[in-house]
Amino acid sequence: MNLKELSQILGLSQTTVSRALNGYPEVGEATRRRVQEAAAAHHYRPSTRAKGLATGRAMAIGHVIPVSTRHEIVNPVFADFIAGAGETYAAKGYDMILSVVDDDREARTYRDIAAKRNVDGILVHGPELNDPRIALLTELGLPFVVHGRASGVALPYSWLDVNNTRAFRRATDFLLDLGHRRIALVNGLEEMDFAARRRRGYEAALLARGVAPDPALMRSSEMTENYGHEAAAEMLRLPDPPTAFLTASMISALGVRRAIEDAGLKMGRDVSIVTHDDDLGYLRNGDGADPIFTATRSSVREAGRLAAAMLLELVADPDRTPRSRLMEATLVVGQSTGPAPQQAQAALSQRR
Amino acid sequence: MNLKELSQILGLSQTTVSRALNGYPEVGEATRRRVQEAAAAHHYRPSTRAKGLATGRAMAIGHVIPVSTRHEIVNPVFADFIAGAGETYAAKGYDMILSVVDDDREARTYRDIAAKRNVDGILVHGPELNDPRIALLTELGLPFVVHGRASGVALPYSWLDVNNTRAFRRATDFLLDLGHRRIALVNGLEEMDFAARRRRGYEAALLARGVAPDPALMRSSEMTENYGHEAAAEMLRLPDPPTAFLTASMISALGVRRAIEDAGLKMGRDVSIVTHDDDLGYLRNGDGADPIFTATRSSVREAGRLAAAMLLELVADPDRTPRSRLMEATLVVGQSTGPAPQQAQAALSQRR
DNA sequence: ATGAAAGCGCTAACAT
DNA sequence: ATGTTAGCGCTTTCAT
């Protein structure tokens, strides 16, 4: 069923039918109702391509997900972010187009997307410190919003980020309040902007208390359980081992926990863990925190919703000045928090 | 840069330029080269929508990902599957359109997708035992491939699945070979076809050895760490507790492990775990198995690649008879396999 | 081997 | 309040 057929059935012109369906005011109320009913009855839906061609708008947003051929893993937080963004798009009648791309050839992909004109805007994932995509997309004139930020880029652009610096500063403070002084950081890859920010928050908290950051207690790699396990195991073998671990994800935290257990230590008595939970609900305990962890938590799904909404506004008015939004993570205190749990709770309620 | 502009620059008609670029034989070799060079120089890419409108093909495949508003979680295996499918699409010049949809309103979504005509085919995720989508899509005449199967559906359709029955039968056999008789099954939601198959494999193995499946040792729920923990904890409190656990995912396996440790038992000495790893590489130990687990493993990314390829063939020839493909999972033996590891290794090498 | 023209399904000026 | 007409950027007959 297309517009032509529908208008013939109704004995109206395509124009009138189109106007009735798109809410133009000059159409009579009776006519509009009649048209709407017929459209519903015949399951009429306008062809996206034809509409796009006529309006010049694609009614679609592109997400480029970088994938490396080396490890067959896709960052699982993408899934939640995309689910959130998808909700927004669905509500506004937009499609979401995913391009899976080898992380090396990304530039070409963005050029192609711009030239093919099948999206009205792009959501940029996983920015690095000096991410070249921001300059590229600016040059191409394609509206975009970055999930995260690129600290090294001077251009103005729109972004939405979690306040990673603050989250990790707060988590470190929490451990310091408990009396910990040897706090290890099991961080993500530091080419990633978010990881660099996390480290800055961690270091700032230490320095503010006069504790010198110890390179032997800082690791950076891709977040796997195994990485968490190895990193923690090695650090626990140091002459002056850490009494607490700050990890950048629940997954690595699980590895850290395993290392602690392997070493014959007791979680929460001998050693503490604070982790950052990017909404990996599978690892959460219902609505509360996992009882064995204390975690800073941000809602990736909500971030997806909001970032998509920002992008749609930008698409509607491409000349608007770039906007940004910083989401705060919450600190959720679990059961076994280390030397002095009571003290921890007090410190926490203060900080809220 | 569009076709009109490009053809004016070249002093040729749009027709000739189009033919040159699309490999039609009647174009002179010299002309073709000249056109191709100009196209490359000006970064010309045909507009997807215009091309689609003219050819009647969308050059896009739809994936509908069901999301519940209750739990803010997206099944993480989707990400890997989609990454695999995306590779295939990119290689063949197809776009991938993702629709995120509340799991209740799915039928309407498929109707809309068909009516909007912006995809040439659909990949169906997470089939239930009697999945209504198969009949719906057949009726709509939209080519589709199912990732998984719907055992209750009689219609012929194309699918790609992992041999879950065999994987779980083999895993159960493995535990039986080790001497276990009280084997618990911590399964996924049994409305899901794959979970039902897994249970069948488990039961078949038990029955073949004359061990009666005990309902007290069988659980079914959504795969979270917490679920694994609770299920295992309760079972371990039984008067006749299990000596081995068979779990349907690495995530729930982590919960099971925690319950085992909570109970003061030693993994691999007192109790064993065999899990099914759907490629959640974050939880894997490099290329080998996690040393504490024994797992059946399937490559979700590869499944995505293959399913997408099957769908593209179907799109090219919608009248071809449905085809199916069954992927085998491998059994990977970890370190601590229970009462008699040596025996396990022997049993395994036999079974390969 | 190349071009002119029609048409894919829709929207948006421009009538009336 | 409704209709006529001209595109949007491409492919595809049909001529030449």
Q: Has residue A54 been placed in a domain?
A: no
State residue B344's pLDDT score: 40
Strand C atom within 7 Å of A18 CB: yes
State residue B277's pLDDT score: 79
Q: Which residue is nearest to nucleotide C5 (CA to C1')?
A: B15
Specify the DSSP class assigned to residue B12: S
Say if strands A294-297 and A330-332 run parallel, antiparallel, or are unpaired: antiparallel
Considering CB atoms only, which of B90, B261, B282 is closest to A224?
Answer: B282
State residue A260's pLDDT score: 87
Q: Which residues touch strand D (CB under 7 A)?
A: A 11-16, 19, 26-28, 31, 50, 53-54, 56; B 2-4, 14-15, 18-19, 21-22, 46-47, 50-51, 53-55
With 0-12 / 13-18 / 19 or more C-beta atoms within 10 angstroms meaning exposed / middle / buried, residue B56 is exposed
Residues B338 and B195 in one domain: yes
State residue A132's pLDDT score: 93
Residues B84 and B155 in one domain: yes
pLDDT tens profile A124-159 = 998 989 999 999 999 999 999 999 999 999 999 999
CATH number at residue B42: 1.10.260.40
Q: Report the alpha-carbon distance of residue B183 to residue B219 in Å, rounded.
A: 12
Question: Least CA distance to A82: which residue of chain B?
Answer: B100
State residue B7's pLDDT score: 92
Map residue B315 onto helix, strand or coil: helix
Residues A218 and A98 in one domain: no
Residues B294 and B305 in one domain: no
Q: Has residue A69 been placed in a domain?
A: yes
CB contact under 8 A, A284 and B79: no
Residue with the bigger pLDDT between B179 and A143: it is A143
Q: Is the pLDDT of residue A336 over 80?
A: no
List, as own/partner pairs, every contact residues A287-293 make where C-beta atoms lie below 8 angstroms and the sequence separation is at least 24, other chains included.
A288/A332, A289/A332, A289/A333, A289/A334, A290/A250, A290/A334, A290/B225, A290/B226, A291/A334, A291/A335, A291/A336, A292/A257, A292/A267, A292/A268, A292/A334, A292/A335, A292/A336, A292/B258, A293/A250, A293/A253, A293/A334
Q: Has residue A127 been placed in a domain?
A: yes
The predicted model gives B51-72 an average pLDDT of 84
The predicted model gives A33-56 an average pLDDT of 91
Map residue A311 onto helix, strand or coil: helix
On chain D, which bases lie within 7 A of the protein's CB atoms?
1-5, 7-13
Q: Report the alpha-carbon distance of residue B189 to residue B220 in Å, rounded.
A: 5
SS3 content of chain A, % helix, strand, coil (to 5): 45, 20, 35
Residues A294 and A316 in one domain: no
Q: Report the alpha-carbon distance of residue A330 to residue A352 in Å, rounded.
A: 9
Q: Is the pLDDT of residue A345 over 60?
A: no
Q: Which residues have a Cβ under 8 Å from the Cβ of B319 and sit 6 or more positions away? A: none
pLDDT tens profile B72-88 = 556 778 888 999 999 99
Residue with the bigger pLDDT between A317 and A286: it is A317
B70 pLDDT band, cuts 50/70/90, is low
Strand C atom within 7 Å of B36 CB: no
B257 pLDDT band, cuts 50/70/90, is confident
State residue A286's pLDDT score: 47
Q: Is the pLDDT of residue A41 over 50?
A: yes
Q: Has residue A132 been placed in a domain?
A: yes
| Closest among B322, B298, B301 to B310, alpha carbons compared | B322
pLDDT tens profile A83-94 = 999 999 999 989
Pick the range with the lowest mean pLDDT from A187-196, A213-222, A254-263, A333-342. Answer: A333-342
What phi-psi label fits residue A23: left (phi over 0), alpha (psi between -120 and 50 degrees) or beta?
Answer: left
Query: What is the Cα gyration radius of chain B?
Result: 25
Q: Report the alpha-carbon distance of residue B308 to residue A9 in Å, rounded.
A: 39
Q: Has residue B51 been placed in a domain?
A: no
Residues A274 and A313 in one domain: no
Q: Report the alpha-carbon distance of residue A346 to residue A78 in Å, rounded.
A: 35
Q: Are B272 and B175 in contact (CB under 8 A)?
A: yes
Q: Report the alpha-carbon distance of residue A123 to residue A119 in Å, rounded.
A: 11
Q: Report the alpha-carbon distance of residue B122 to residue B61 in Å, rounded.
A: 6
The length of chain A, given as a count of residues: 352
Residues A42 and A66 in one domain: no
Residues B288 and B306 in one domain: no
Q: Has residue A169 been placed in a domain?
A: yes
Q: Is the pLDDT of residue A281 over 70?
A: no
Residue with the bigger pLDDT between B345 and A76: it is A76
Residues A223 and A78 in one domain: no
- E-state strands within chain B: 60-67, 95-102, 121-124, 144-147, 158-162, 183-187, 218-220, 244-247, 272-277, 294-297, 324-327, 330-332
Residue numbers in A 38-77, CB below 7 Å of strand C: 46-47, 50-51, 53-55
State residue A18's pLDDT score: 92
State residue A348's pLDDT score: 40
Sign of CA dihedral A109, A111, A117, A121: positive
Pick the range with the lowest mean pLDDT from A69-73, A284-288, A300-304, B266-270. Answer: A284-288
- Domain coverage including residue B187: 164-299+331-351
Report the number of distinct structural domains present in chain A: 3
CB contact under 8 A, A86 and B79: no
Alpha carbon A296 to its chain's center: 15
CA of A10 to C1' of D2 (A): 13
Q: Note the pTM of the prediction, 2 decimals.
A: 0.89
Pick the range with the lowest mean pLDDT from A23-27, A199-203, A229-233, B74-78. Answer: B74-78
Q: Has residue B208 been placed in a domain?
A: yes
Q: Report the alpha-carbon distance of residue B113 to residue B99 in Å, rounded.
A: 9
State residue B342's pLDDT score: 42
Residues B266 and B342 in one domain: yes
Mean pLDDT of chain A: 86
Residue with the bigger pLDDT between A291 and B270: it is B270
Residues A319 and A260 in one domain: no
Q: Report the alpha-carbon distance of residue A182 to residue B258 in Å, rounded.
A: 26
B283 pLDDT band, cuts 50/70/90, is low
Q: Is the pLDDT of residue B348 over 50?
A: no
Q: Report the alpha-carbon distance of residue B226 to residue B258 in Å, rounded.
A: 9
State residue B178's pLDDT score: 84
The predicted model gives B209-217 an average pLDDT of 97
A179 pLDDT band, cuts 50/70/90, is confident
Q: Has residue A195 been placed in a domain?
A: yes
Q: Is the pLDDT of residue B290 over 70?
A: no
Q: Are A322 and A157 in contact (CB under 8 A)?
A: yes
Directed axis angle between helix A3-10 and helix A29-41, to 10°? 120
State residue B162's pLDDT score: 95
Pick the range with the lowest mean pLDDT from A12-26, B156-170, B254-268. Answer: B254-268
Residues B112 and B240 in one domain: no
Q: Is the pLDDT of residue B282 over 80?
A: no
The length of chain B, given as a count of residues: 352
Helices and strands (H, E) in chain A, number of each type: 13, 12
Query: CA angle B146-B151-B154, nearest 5°?
Result: 85
Q: Which residue is nearest to nucleotide C9 (CA to C1')?
A: A50
The predicted model gives A93-112 an average pLDDT of 86
Alpha carbon B238 to its chain's center: 35
Q: What percent of chain A has pLDDT over 90?
A: 53
The predicted model gives A95-114 an average pLDDT of 86
Q: Are B35 and B15 in contact (CB under 8 A)?
A: no
Q: Touching check for B118 and chain A: CB below 8 Å?
A: yes
CATH number at residue A82: 3.40.50.2300
